[in-house]
Chain A
Amino acid sequence: MNTPTNLKYTKSDEYFDPATGAVGISDYAQNQLSDIVFVELLVDEGEEVTVGKAIASVESVKASSEIYAPAAGKVSAVNKGLSDKPETLNSDPYGEGWMIKIEGGAGDVMDSVAYEKYCEGRSH
């Protein structure tokens, strides 16, 4: 499991990069979902979001999941190309697989150590 130390994580498996504002799903989450075949971003650039607002919808071969905003603030960018290559979420969740960028402060998030522990606790 890859959990970069510079990022913050939520219990619903989103990550937030405090430096760039980038939001996406964690490596753990992409692995759980397995092969992702569809992603739809539910917010537009310039929109204000609150913590917990659904910002994207993701579907894999076997599962479907909503992605929630880990931070509150203005959406400064959306990754428009993502819907054409949803598999990027599997191959590069922290790089090309970013979903949106939020200018603002994180909500209830964990650091990488706490998140790794949290994930281990879930795999029985």
Chain B
Amino acid sequence: MNNAASATLSAKIVEPTIFELSSPGRRGVKMPASDVPTTALPPNHLLRSDLPLPELAEVDVVRHYMKLSKFNYSVDDGFYPLGSCTMKYNPKINEDTCRLPGFLFTHPLQPIETVQGNLALMFEMQEWLKEISGFEGVTLQPAAGAHGEFTGVLMMAAYHKSRGDLKRTKMLIPDAAHGTNPASVGMLGFTVITIPSDSRGNVDLEKLKAACDDTVVGMMLTNPNTLGMFDENIEKVVNMVKDCGGLMYGDGANLNALLGIVRPGDLGFDVMHFNLHKTFSVPHGGGGPGSGPVGVSQRLVDFLPSPLVGIVEEGDDETAPLYDFVTPKNSIGRMKAFHGHFGGGLVRAYTYIAMHGPDGLKDISQYAVLNANYLQARLRDTYKIPYDRICMHEFVMEGQFEGSDIRALDIAKRLMDYNFHPPTNYFPLIVHEALMIEPTETENKDTLDRFADALIKIAEEAKSQPELLHDAPHITPFGRMDEVKAARELVLCCWLPENYDASQ
């Protein structure tokens, strides 16, 4: 395994790894001396022979990570219209509230009477999410959207099983769905039945009707869907699934379009996961942690994962209620250790909801939808928009032109030269060379105009100087990657250099 460097031996090193920066005997943060009498270590055969970890000074560490941070593009840097990801601005106050010592330094297994503040926050969060979504129960435990989805599918399976309805093994999933939907279903051994979209981007009702029978577990529907379209026949879709005894799963990835606009529970959905890291401003952290609470209708409340927060002694004007953890009657069990992403997830999202109130939440969705429609209107004459009607918080256009070999990928990479993060590309799969654009509500008109201008300019460049796009990006610190080399040679770790003298 010491051939790590060989894969890229001749490559230029822009920033060495912390292993390469290591120097024998260099010290970072020191721990205090022991204040207790010394005990002998365990016998030698139980000890590790060496600990070949880096040795650096604090300043080395800071400069290394500062340098790395500058290679990143982030929401704090600029526009990040990544469709389906809701890369909105992350308010700074959240960073302070989630680090209050009362939250940071409470242990998940502390006696409940010492953590009533945490439990009150969780209880209120459950209540708020129920109110926002129109559901009857909410679990805060799932760690991310996909985790919430798996939770939801487990509850759907448990519901049918509890009724002795064992023949239900088919899950209906539209062709525009996120890959997590079928993957969650696969984890339970169910079969996926793909339902196509019609020409307006709605679920094809004829095909849905044909698929509905007494073997259907339910349907997993993202609404608005990944084309950014609110299904115009949503009530018919829900009724068809329910009429055959199925349950309706809502993928909450696109909830940013619906706050104060419509509640999935009111539309007849039985279960939906929230993405607190999308809708409620929990920062994405370079790929997690997320937070994926799940809401359910009355018929699924007894199946929620354990534990939930409940009131075990009602309070009055003088005393606060006593909160504790409770386990639903037919709970599917525990989805992770402890109680969900409390500090980094729930506290930030709670702060955000508290600062918005009912009107502020509606503003979020109204402006998210306005911004998407504004961009769509500005780009309509330049790019083909295959499903062209009023969109919700995002829309999808084709990143290709008649008679040109320019692809969505080239446009995406060229946008980096204009200092924008590219949109999601090649998703959803039902649009050729898809570019999926979600501006969010936290961008101003000037930014949207600059972005639209850049895309229009790029469309011109595609005709006049296509190589400019093929070779893009040009002004970023790194160029396009050799992904085949990465997958074939598979260098996944680095180690201390071979000639490293650890004895010093």
Which residues of A approach B to under 8 Å, CB–CB?
A: 35, 37, 61, 87
Contact = CB atoms under 8 A, between A and B. Distances in A.
Contacts of B484: 35, 37, 61
Interface in B459-504: 483-484, 487-488
Given A35-B488, A37-B484, A61-B487, 4 more contacts: A35-B484, A37-B487, A61-B483, A87-B488
10 contacts: A35-B484, A35-B487, A35-B488, A37-B484, A37-B487, A37-B488, A61-B483, A61-B484, A61-B487, A87-B488
Contacts of A35: 484, 487-488
Contacts of A37: 484, 487-488
Contacts of B488: 35, 37, 87
Nearest to A87: B488
B345 to A, nearest CB: 31
A120 to B, nearest CB: 18
Contacts of B487: 35, 37, 61
A26 to B, nearest CB: 21
A3 B498 CA distance: 49
A87 B488 CA distance: 9
Interface string B65-91: 000000000000000000000000000
B429 to A, nearest CB: 11
Interface in B79-106: none
B133 to A, nearest CB: 34
B171 to A, nearest CB: 19
Contacts of B483: 61
B486 to A, nearest CB: 8
The 9 A-B pairs with the shortest beta carbon distances in the complex, nearest first, are A37-B487, A35-B484, A61-B483, A61-B487, A61-B484, A37-B488, A87-B488, A35-B487, A35-B488
A35 B488 CA distance: 9
Interface string B387-406: 00000000000000000000
A35 B482 CA distance: 11
A87 B483 CA distance: 14
Nearest to B488: A37
A37 B483 CA distance: 11
A35 B484 CA distance: 7
B214 to A, nearest CB: 26
Nearest to B483: A61
A106 B151 CA distance: 43
Interface in B412-449: none
A42 B483 CA distance: 26
A67 B279 CA distance: 40
B183 to A, nearest CB: 12
Nearest to B489: A37
A39 to B, nearest CB: 13
A31 B336 CA distance: 42
A61 B484 CA distance: 6
Interface string B178-221: 00000000000000000000000000000000000000000000
A64 to B, nearest CB: 11
B430 to A, nearest CB: 14
Interface string B290-312: 00000000000000000000000
